[in-house]
Structure 1
Amino acid sequence: MRCTAALFALALAMPAAADTPEAEPEDGFSLLEEGAKIIMRSMLDDIGPKLDEMRDGLEGAMAGLEPHLAELADMIGDLGNYQAPERLPNGDIILRRKIPQAPIEFGPNGEVDI
């Protein structure tokens, strides 16, 4: 609704500036700039509360993910020690170490603990 009023005000202002013989081209641009500012302010007023809600939701989600991301970072360590991720045909993604740090430990039946 505010956008419509701003566009209507801009449309009314434009012919008045063009009808005056002493109006310079720069006056038209300044009127367009003012109209654009009015429209942008109106849009920000309309979507501002929704943006605040989105920010609050993302902050909440990050608060829940932060402990898990910290645990993952502790497990992986420095990413420079790994090759680029590789996707297997079954959809699994593996990160191979560039230089193995520890020998692989096999279980009693030859299984590997992943």
Structure 2
Amino acid sequence: MKQPLAFVLALALSTTPASAQEGDESGSMMQRGLELFFEGLRDEVSPALRDLQDMVAEYGPGMRRFLSEMGPALAGILEEVEDWSRYEAPEILPNGDIIIRRKPDEVPEPEALPPAGPTDI
């Protein structure tokens, strides 16, 4: 996630005008150093961006279709569930049904229970 952000930052900074004068050697060295830095950054980020584009091209249409069909039902579930950590990962049954099981409630440890009082026999 950081790599696309870095690429956008690099692209934005590389298109801004240089503040150094043409005749100022230290300014032009700094400008050239920044250019090399951002070129390297762009080269590092390019494969990740290509992978992201490929993934969007592959999964995008299916995700759009899924969200258009299931979106309203999922929104209703999201409103009802307060704590997703109380549920197991979804499970696909052999018949194609998808279930999400609630995790068992934690049972208090025996020493956490209040002591038993005397009993009449």
TM interval, shorter chain, is 0.3 to 0.5
After TM superposition, the score normalised by the length of structure 2 is 0.36
After TM superposition, the score normalised by the length of structure 1 is 0.38
User: Which has the larger Rg?
Assistant: 1
